[in-house]
Amino acid sequence: MPRTFDGSVGWPALRERLATRLDPGTLAALDEAVAFAVERHGDQRRPAGEPYVEHLLEALEALAEGVGERDPDTLRAALLHDVVEDTPTTLEELRARFGDRVAELVGWVTKGEDREAYLAALPGAPDAAIAVKLADRLSNVQRLRTHPRPAKRASYYRETVATIVPLAAGRPWFEDWYRAWAAEHADLGGAQ
């Protein structure tokens, strides 16, 4: 069974755990990104009803605790990865507030209107953007069985196996996590 990450612990508890792994400057940068994400996502909820910020914290936790990522821009991008896609925030606004690299990483993982083109372009993304995408999808699929629509569970499982799991190649922690997840949830692939 792959490790499950739980954003419901909240930022203060996660921050306390990360304080043993990350330097104070990185933690301060994450404080700012968490505050911005909370402000922008507001009262948004995930399909199963949990607060949206929990998803963002899970992506951060997967990178920082699972993978061992320490790069502040990659970690901030994990927290901000949906702010352009799911709020009125623009990439230009993100760039002005968090810098070029964070905006670039978020840009790579922001879906446009053409989902197929977006997924097809991902293998050409910088390594840090792929890491953010893998952490994002990990959070989305770790509790896929709780999604309220069975057809969505099946299609999302199949899409993940076909387009996201290959991105984990050469990234041992993600390879192991996704291999275990795919095996544990294989029954979802055939459901319609």
Q: Which residues are catalytic?
A: 85-86
Residue 121 CA to residue 119 CA, distance in Å, equals: 5
Q: Which two tokens stand for residue 186?
A: 């294989």
Q: Dihedral sign for Cα 46, 97, 13, 135, please.
A: positive
Contacts 24+ apart (CB under 8 A), 82-85: 82/41, 82/52, 82/55, 82/56, 82/110, 82/136, 83/36, 83/37, 83/40, 83/41, 84/110, 85/110, 85/111
